[in-house]
Amino acid sequence: MKITALNGFKDIVPGEVELWQRVETAARAIFSRFNFSEIRMPILEKTELFARSIGETTDIVEKEMYTFVDKQITMRPEATASLLRAYIQHGLHVQKPIQRLFTIGPMFRHERPQKGRLRQFHQMDVEVIGAQNPRVDAELMAMGALLLEELGVTVSLELNSLGCPACRPGFRETLLAFIEDRYEALCDDCKRRSNTNPLRVLDCKNPSCRAQVEEAPSIQEHLCGECSDHFAVVQEGLQQLGVNYTLNKFMVRGLDYYTRTTFEFITGDLGAQAAVGAGGRYDGLIEQLGGPKVPGIGFALGMERLVLLLQQQEEMESAQGEIDIFVAGLGEAASEFVFPLVHALRRKGLRAAMDHEGRSLKSQMKQANKAGAKRVLIIGDNELEQGQAVLRDMQTQEQEEIPIASGVDKLAGSLFAAC
Ligand code: ATP
Ligand code: MG
C-alpha cells in the first residue's frame, strides 16, 4: 500500500516550485523597498493566543484549528497573533516605536479542501505596529496592490471600516434591529451568529441571506467622528497614491480583532476562492494580548491562490502562443491574395495569422516562430505566377508544394485538411 499525503496537504514539486520562488522573490523585493524586516515564528503556539485574539466565536477558532487537546497547543491558523506575541515577548516596541515586519510561511486550518483552499496553506503576512496614521493604511494597501501588479495579477481592492469600541456597539444594535425582522429567512449559521456576532450575517455567502441583508444599514454611515475622519484620510491616501478601490459595506472579515480599516484583494479568476489577500487594523489587540497600548495594521496574501493565478496566466499565454498556420505573403500581389485566405482559414476554425507590414521572409518566419505557429504557408509573387505555394511543417521542417490556383476557398479547404 502506498502512503500518500494527507487530504488538504500538498507537496510543491519542481515545475511548480519555481512559481512559488517567483512569488516569494517578488514579495521580498517589494517588502524591502517599503522598509519591512523579516520575522519568523514557531508553528505551534498556546491555544489561548488564538482564542484571545481571533475570537472565541469565529469560524477559525470554533471549527478550523488543529489543536492538540491534551496539550492546549495549536498549529497557527494565521500569522498576526503569533507575530504580535513575538513582538510583545521581545519588547520590540522599545527598540523602535514603529515596527514594520513581515513573515512568510505555512498556516493550518481544518477546512474543506478545494481549489485554492488547503489545510496547510501559505501566507505572506505584513504588519505595521505602532502607527495610527491613516496614511499608513493607504501605504500598506498600495504596497499590496503594487506587488500584485508586479506579479501581473489583476485584482480589485475592496474597502470598509468596522469602527471602534465607541461606535461599533451602536451599529450592532441598529443592525440587530434590522436583522430581527428578517430572522426567520436567515440560514441556521446566521441565526446563531445574530446572537454571537451579528456583523457576520452581512458577509454570509448563502444567497438567501445575501438577499435579506441587501438593504442592511451601512457601518460606514454609523462611524463615530474619529473613525469617520480616519476612514476619509485612508481613502484620500489611496487616491493620492493612485490605488483604485471600491467600498464594500458587507465586508466584515472573519476575525474579531479588526477595528476601523478592513480590506480584501479580490480576483474574479478563482471561483469561490476570490480573496487573494486580506487584512485590516487591530488597534486594541496588542494591549489585549498583554502588550503596550499601541495600534497596528496588517494583511496577509494567500500564496496558493497567487500561484494558481500565475499558472492560469502561463496556460493562457501558451495557449495563445500556439497558432495553426502562419501565412507569409511576400510582395504586393501575394499580400492581396493572403489577406482573404487568412480570413477563410479562420472561418474554417483554424488559428491563422499573417503579417500586415510587408516584412521580409526572414522576419515573417521569425514572427511565425514567436507565435508558435505549427505550419507556415509561403506565397511570393513567383509562387502566385506558378500556382504553387510552399507549406512548411515547423516541427519537422518538411516542406510540400500546395496548388493555389483554384481560388481562396478551395485552398483554405485543402489547408484545413492538411492541418
Ligand atoms: P476565505 O474567505 O477565502 O476563507 P479568509 O478570510 O479566511 O479567506 P484570511 O484569514 O484573511 O482568509 O487569510 C488571508 C488570505 O489567506 C486569504 O485571502 C487567502 O488568500 C488565504 N487563505 C486563507 N485560508 C486559506 C486556505 N484554507 N487555503 C489557501 N489559502 C487560504
Ligand atoms: Mg476562511
pLDDT along the chain (419 residues), means of 10: 96 96 98 98 97 91 94 97 98 94 98 96 98 97 97 96 94 91 89 87 89 92 96 98 96 87 96 95 95 97 97 81 90 92 95 91 90 92 91 91 89 89
263 within 8 A of 248, measured Cβ to Cβ? no
Which residues, at least 6 apart from 134, have a Cβ–Cβ distance to it below 8 Å? 230, 231, 233, 234, 237, 261
* Inter-axis angle of helices 408-418 and 332-348, nearest 10: 60
Residue 116: how many CA atoms within 13 Å on its side-chain side? 21
Ligand 2 centroid distance, CA of 244 (Å): 25
**Residue identifier of the C-alpha nearest atom 8 of ligand 1:** 275
Q: What distance in angstroms lies between residue 119's CA and the mean position of ligand 2's atoms?
A: 11
Q: Cβ distance 345 to 375 under 8 Å?
A: no
Domain residue ranges of the chain, discontinuous segments joined by +? 17-167+223-314, 322-418
Q: Which helix (H) or strand (E) holds 262?
A: strand 259-266
Q: Go through 376-415 and write b for each residue having 16 or more CB atoms within 10 A of its CB, e for each that does not.
A: bbbbbeebbeeeebebbebeeeeeeebebeeebeebbeeb
pLDDT of 314 reads: 86
**Residues within 6 Å of ligand 1 by CB:** 78, 109, 111, 116-118, 121, 123, 254, 273, 275-278, 300, 302, 304-305
CA of 275 to the centre of ligand 1 (A): 7
Q: Closest ligand 1 atom to the C-alpha of 274?
A: 3
pLDDT value, residue 371: 84
pLDDT value at residue 197 = 85
What's the 304 CA to ligand 1 centre distance in angstroms?
A: 10
Residue nearest atom 25 in ligand 1 by C-alpha distance: 117
Give the closest ligand to the alpha carbon of residue 205: 1
Name the pTM for this structure. 0.80
Ligand 1 midpoint to CA 131 (Å): 25
Provide the edge-to-edge strand list for the sheet that holds 246-247: 37-38, 99-108, 120-129, 296-302, 275-281, 259-266, 156-161, 246-247
Of 9, 75, 104, 107, the residue with max ligand 1 atoms within 8 A of its CB, to mutate for a pocket test, comes to 107
**CATH number, domain 322-418:** 3.40.50.800
The HSE-up count of residue 386 (CA atoms within 13 Å, CB side) is: 10
Task: Specify the CATH number for 17-167+223-314; select among 3.60.15.10, 3.30.565.10, 3.90.1150.220, 3.30.930.10.
Answer: 3.30.930.10
* Atom 21 of ligand 1, nearest CA residue: 302
Residue with CA closest to ligand 1 atom 5? 254
pLDDT of residue 322: 80
Atom of ligand 1 nearest to the CA of 265: 18
Strands 275-281 and 259-266: antiparallel
DSSP 114-134: BTTB-SEEEEEEEEEES---H
Ligand nearest to the CA of 308: 1
Asked whether the beta carbons of 389 and 361 are under 8 A apart, the reply is no
